[in-house]
C-alpha cells in the first residue's frame, strides 16, 4: 500500500475508531478528533500542486483482482486534485462548523461522524480511482453514506423520506452507470480510464458507443440532480446543515460533474454528447432558478439554487466539448471558454454556496426558523452572519467584484460563442442558449434578492421566532463561513491565483493535450472586458430582476407561486405507490402458502425459459443413428413403471399407495441393473426398502380415520404442466445427444471414462464422480444431511412443558 492508498482509505479507518473514541472520551466533542484528518489530507494534497501544475500525473497501483483486470489504481491529475482539495478543504471547515452546530449532549455524534467519514473516503475514492469497478464501488458508498446522513434525524418522517428518495434515484443511476462501464470494457477490454482514453478508436467506432454513453450520463445526471432527476435534492435538505453544506453544495452533487468531465475525452466531440449535456444542463439551470423563487424556506431556496448552478456547469461542459470535434486549432481559444467557465464556476460555487448553507444553518440555529415569512430585521442582530451572507448572495447573483461575477460572465461568453458554432445544427438552435441562460440568470438574481431582503432587512419581530433571545452565533460557528466568504472575495479580486495551479491543469485533464497542441492557450481571468454583450446581459439581469422583485407582491399571489413542492414529485410518489401495490399484488399471487402452487410456478418457468431457448436457437433435434434397440423385457418394465405411477393419484388407501410407491422404487432399481449400474441399484434397493418399512410403521401407529375419504379430481392445469415438463426434459435429453453427435462434440462421459482410473484410481466411474470429481459437492450434501439429522434428533428429544409460549 502506498501513501496515496492509505490517504484514500484513511477516512474509513478513522470511522472504525470513532465509536471507541466516542465511548471513552465523551467530555471532548468527537468532532475535534475528526477535524485532524481532513486538515492533514488537505495539507498533503496541496503539496502535490507543483506536480499537476507542471502537467505531471501521479499513478500508483495495488493489485486487487488482477485476473479480472480490477486493480486499486489511484490517479492524480489536475482534475482529480481540484476535487480532492474541495473534498478535504471544505470537509475540514464543515467538521469545524459541526462541532459548534451539533451538541454533544443531545446528538449521537458517533453515528454522525462515522457517516461523514464514510462519505469523505468514498468521494476521495471516486475522484482518485482509475479503475471503473473500483470507482463504482466508491460511487455507491457515497449514495449509502449520504442516505445515512440525510436520515440522521431518523425520528423525523421527512428525513427518512428524503433519504429513501435519494437512495432510490442515485442507486438507480449508479446501476445504469455500471452497465455503461461494462460496455466500455466489452469495447476496449480494460477497466482503466487511462487505457480507455488511449483506445478511442475502439470506442468511437463501436455500435455500443451510444448505449455506453447514455448509461454513464444517467449515473451522472441522477447524482448531480439534473432535470428530471433533481427531485431528490430538495428533500435531502432535511439533513443537518453541515451535511447540506458539504454533500449538497461542494462534493456529492458534483460527483456527476466529475464523471462527465472525466469522460469528456472519451465521448466529447460526439453530437449526442454535446446535445444531451447542453440541453439537460440549460433546462436544469432554468427550472432550478424558477423553482427557487417559489420557495419559502431558506434551505429549500438554496437546494433549488444548487440544482440550477449544477445545470449551469453541466451545460458548459456540454458546450465546451465541441472543441474536441474541431481538435486543437484556430478555434481552440474560442470554444474552450465554456470549459474554463465550468471549472472556475465549480470552485466558485463551492465557496459561495458552502458559506450560504452555513449562514442559513446559523440563522436556523439561533432563531429556530428558516421561514422567510417569519424572518426579517436580522442585519443588526447578526452582523457577521449578515456580512457573510451578503458576500455569498452577491457572488451567486453574479455581481462584481466577487468571483461569481467572473464565472457568470464567462458563462455568458461560453453560450454566446457556442451559439455561433457551425456544427450539430447550432446555426439553427444555438440562439436559444443565450436567451435561456439570460432568463435563468434573471431568476437567480431574484431569489438572491428575496433571500437577502426577506432575511436581513425590515423590522425585527421577536414574537416570530421560536427562541427567547435571538443573537449572533458563537465565533466557532462563524469561522468556517467567514473563511469561505473570504475566499469569495479573494478569488474575485485575484482570480489568477487559481489560473495556473488549479484551473489550467483541470482543463488539461478534460481536454487532453490542450496546452501542448495550442501553446497560445492560457488562462487569464479579469473583470473588465469593455462594453461587450456579456456586460449588457448582466445589466439587463440586474434591471429586470430588480423590477420583478419590486413587483413581487402582485405576482406572488399567483397559484403557482404558492406551490413550493416541485410538480415532478407527483410522478415519483405515484410511481413508488404503484411499485408497492404491484409488488403486493405479485406477492399475493405467488405466496399462496400451497406447495403445489410453488412447484407449478417453478415448472412453468422452466418450460417457458428452456422452451424459448430451444426454439430461439433451433436446438430441437433427434438422431437415432447410435440408438440401440429396446429388448422386450424393457418394454414390460417401462409399462409397469408408467402404470404404477399413473395409478397412484387414484388410490384412496394409505397402505396401497405406499406399496405402489415402493414398487416404483424397486422398478427403478431394476433399470439401474439393466443399465449396468450395480452400485446405484443396490443403493436404490436399500433406500427404497427402508423408506417403505418406515412409512408402513409410521402409518400403522397412526389413529384410524374412519371418516377419511379421498376423491381424486381431474386437474387440467396439472396435467398440462406435467406433460409439458416431461416432454421438454425428454426433448432436451434427445437434442443434447443428437446435437453432440452432429457437431462431433466429445461427451463429458468420455472424460470420466478416460480419467477415472488415471486421476482417481478407481474403476467404478459413479463412485469416482461422487467422491473425487464432485467431492466438494458431495461433502456439502453430507453436511446438509448431517444438519437435518441433528434437527430430527433435537425434535425427538425435545420435551415441551406447555409453558413455552407464556
**Where do we find the cell 449578515?**
386
Contact assessment for residue 712 and residue 649, using Cβ atoms and an 8 Å cutoff: yes
Q: Among positive and negative, which fits the CA dihedral 43, 44, 50, 56?
A: negative
DSSP 407-429: HHHHHHHHHHHHTT-SSTTHHHH
Which grid coordinates belong to 342? 465550468
Contact assessment for residue 434 and residue 415, using Cβ atoms and an 8 Å cutoff: yes
Cis bond leading into 228, ω under 30°? yes
* Predicted pLDDT at 122: 96
* Predicted pLDDT at 95: 96
Q: How far apart are CA 355 and CA 201, in angstroms?
A: 44
Q: How far apart are CA 483 and CA 348, in angstroms?
A: 13
Residues of the chain with pLDDT under 50: 520, 806
What's the Cα-to-Cα distance from 463 to each of 368, 386, 470, rounded to whole Å?
12, 21, 11
Q: Among positive and negative, which fits the CA dihedral 422, 426, 432, 434?
A: negative
H or E element that contains 71: strand 70-76
> Beta partners for 63?
71
* Predicted pLDDT at 483: 97
Q: Residue 203, Cβ neighbours under 10 Å: how many? A: 19
Contact assessment for residue 187 and residue 215, using Cβ atoms and an 8 Å cutoff: no
Please give the model's pTM, rounded to 2 decimal places: 0.82
* Predicted pLDDT at 326: 63
* Predicted pLDDT at 604: 93
Q: Which ranges of 224-336 does DSSP label H, i.e. alpha helix? A: 232-235, 241-247, 255-267, 271-293, 298-320, 322-326, 332-335
Cis bond leading into 417, ω under 30°? no
Amino acid at each position: 500500500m502506498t501513501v496515496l492508498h492509505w490517504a484514500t482509505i484513511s477516512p474509513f479507518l478513522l470511522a472504525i475508531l470513532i465509536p471507541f473514541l466516542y465511548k471513552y472520551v465523551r467530555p471532548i466533542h468527537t468532532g475535534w478528533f475528526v477535524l485532524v484528518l481532513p486538515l492533514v489530507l488537505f495539507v498533503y494534497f496541496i503539496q502535490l500542486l507543483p506536480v499537476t501544475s507542471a502537467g505531471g500525473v501521479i499513478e500508483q497501483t495495488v493489485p486487487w483482482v488482477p485476473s479480472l483486470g480490477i486493480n486499486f489504481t489511484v490517479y492524480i491529475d489536475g482534475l482529480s486534485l481540484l476535487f480532492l482539495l474541495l473534498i478535504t478543504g471544505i470537509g475540514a471547515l464543515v467538521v469545524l462548523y459541526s462541532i459548534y452546530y451539533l451538541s454533544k449532549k443531545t446528538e449521537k455524534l458517533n453515528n454522525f461522524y462515522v457517516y461523514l467519514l464514510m462519505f469523505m473516503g468514498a468521494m476521495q475514492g471516486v475522484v482518485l480511482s482509475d479503475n471503473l469497478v473500483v470507482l463504482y464501488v466508491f460511487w455507491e458508498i457515497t449514495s449509502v453514506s449520504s442516505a445515512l446522513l440525510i436520515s440522521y434525524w431518523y425520528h423525523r418522517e421527512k428525513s427518512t423520506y428524503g433519504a429513501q428518495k435519494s437512495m432510490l434515484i442515485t442507486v438507480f443511476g449508479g446501476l445504469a452507470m455500471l452497465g455503461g462501464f461494462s460496455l466500455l470494457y466489452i469495447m476496449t477490454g480494460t477497466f482503466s480510464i487511462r487505457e480507455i482514453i488511449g483506445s478511442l478508436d475502439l470506442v468511437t467506432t463501436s455500435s455500443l458507443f451510444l448505449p455506453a454513453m447514455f448509461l454513464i450520463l444517467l449515473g451522472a445526471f441522477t447524482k448531480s440532480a439534473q432535470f428530471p432527476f433533481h427531485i431528490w435534492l430538495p428533500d435531502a435538505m432535511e439533513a443537518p446543515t453541515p451535511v447540506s453544506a458539504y454533500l449538497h453544495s461542494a462534493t456529492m452533487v458534483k460527483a456527476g460533474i466529475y464523471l462527465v468531465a472525466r469522460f469528456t475525452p472519451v465521448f466529447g466531440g460526439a453530437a449526442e454528447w454535446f446535445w444531451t449535456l447542453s440541453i439537460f444542463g440549460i433546462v436544469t439551470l432554468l427550472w432550478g432558478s424558477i423553482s427557487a423563487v417559489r420557495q419559502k424556506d431558506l434551505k429549500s431556496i438554496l437546494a433549488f439554487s444548487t440544482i440550477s448552478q449544477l445545470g449551469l456547469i453541466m451545460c458548459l461542459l456540454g458546450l465546451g466539448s465541441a472543441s474536441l470535434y474541431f481538435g486543437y486549432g484556430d478555434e481552440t481559444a474560442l470554444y474552450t471558454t465554456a470549459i474554463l467557465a465550468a471549472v472556475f464556476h465549480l470552485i466558485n460555487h463551492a465557496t459561495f454556496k458552502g458559506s450560504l448553507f452555513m449562514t442559513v444553518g446559523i440563522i436556523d440555529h439561533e432563531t429556530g426558523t428558516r421561514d422567510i415569512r417569519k424572518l426579517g430585521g436580522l442585519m443588526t442582530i447578526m452582523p457577521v452572519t449578515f456580512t457573510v451572507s451578503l458576500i455569498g448572495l452577491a457572488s451567486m447573483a453574479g455581481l462584481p467584484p466577487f468571483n461569481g461575477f467572473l464565472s457568470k460572465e464567462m458563462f455568458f461568453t461560453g453560450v454566446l460563442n457556442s451559439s455561433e458554432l457551425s456544427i450539430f445544427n447550432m446555426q439553427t438552435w444555438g440562439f436559444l442558449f443565450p436567451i435561456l441562460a439570460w432568463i435563468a440568470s434573471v431568476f437567480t438574481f431574484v431569489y438572491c434578492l428575496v433571500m437577502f431582503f426577506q432575511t436581513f432587512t425590515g423590522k425585527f419581530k421577536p414574537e416570530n421566532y421560536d427562541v427567547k433571545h435571538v443573537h449572533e452565533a458563537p465565533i466557532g460557528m462563524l469561522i468556517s463561513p467567514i473563511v469561505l466568504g473570504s475566499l469569495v472575495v479573494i478569488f474575485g479580486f485575484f482570480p489568477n491565483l487559481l489560473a495556473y495551479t488549479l484551473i489550467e491543469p483541470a482543463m488539461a485533464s478534460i481536454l487532453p493535450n490542450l496546452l501542448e497542441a495550442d501553446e497560445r492557450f492560457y488562462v487569464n481571468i479579469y473583470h473588465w472586458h469593455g462594453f461587450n454583450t456579456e456586460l449588457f446581459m448582466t445589466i439587463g439581469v440586474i434591471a429586470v430582476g430588480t423590477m420583478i422583485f419590486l413587483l413581487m407582491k402582485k405576482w406572488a399571489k399567483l397559484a403557482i407561486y404558492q406551490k413550493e413542492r416541485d410538480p415532478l414529485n407527483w410522478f415519483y410518489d405515484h410511481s413508488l405507490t404503484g411499485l408497492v401495490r404491484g409488488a403486493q399484488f405479485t406477492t399475493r399471487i405467488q405466496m399462496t402458502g400451497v406447495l403445489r402452487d410453488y412447484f407449478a410456478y417453478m415448472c412453468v418457468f422452466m418450460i417457458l425459459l428452456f422452451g424459448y431457448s430451444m426454439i430461439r436457437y433451433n436446438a430441437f433435434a433427434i438422431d437415432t443413428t447410435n440408438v440401440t434397440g429396446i429388448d422386450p423385457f424393457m418394454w414390460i418394465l417401462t409399462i409397469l413403471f408408467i402404470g404404477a405411477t399413473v395409478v397412484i393419484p387414484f388410490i384412496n388407501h394409505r397402505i396401497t399407495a405406499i406399496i405402489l410407491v415402493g414398487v416404483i422404487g424397486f422398478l427403478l432399481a431394476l433399470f439401474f441393473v439393466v443399465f449396468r449400474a450395480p452400485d446405484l441399484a443396490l443403493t436404490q434397493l436399500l433406500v427404497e426398502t427402508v423408506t417403505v418399512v418406515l412409512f408402513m410403521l409410521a402409518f400403522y401407529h397412526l389413529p384410524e380415520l374412519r371418516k377419511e375419504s379421498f376423491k381424486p379430481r381431474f386437474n387440467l392445469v396439472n396435467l398440462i404442466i406435467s406433460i409439458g415438463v416431461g416432454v421438454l426434459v425428454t426433448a432436451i435429453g434427445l437434442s443434447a445427444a443428437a446435437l453432440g453427435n452432429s457437431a462431433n462434440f466429445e461427451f463429458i462421459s468420455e472424460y470420466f471414462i478416460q480419467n477415472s482410473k488415471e486421476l482417481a484410481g478407481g474403476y467404478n466411474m459413479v463412485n469416482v464422480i461422487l467422491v473425487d470429481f464432485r467431492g466438494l459437492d458431495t461433502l456439502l450434501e453430507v453436511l446438509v444431511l448431517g444438519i437435518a439429522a441433528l434437527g430430527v434428533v433435537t425434535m425427538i428429544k425435545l420435551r415441551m412443558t406447555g409453558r413455552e409460549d407464556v
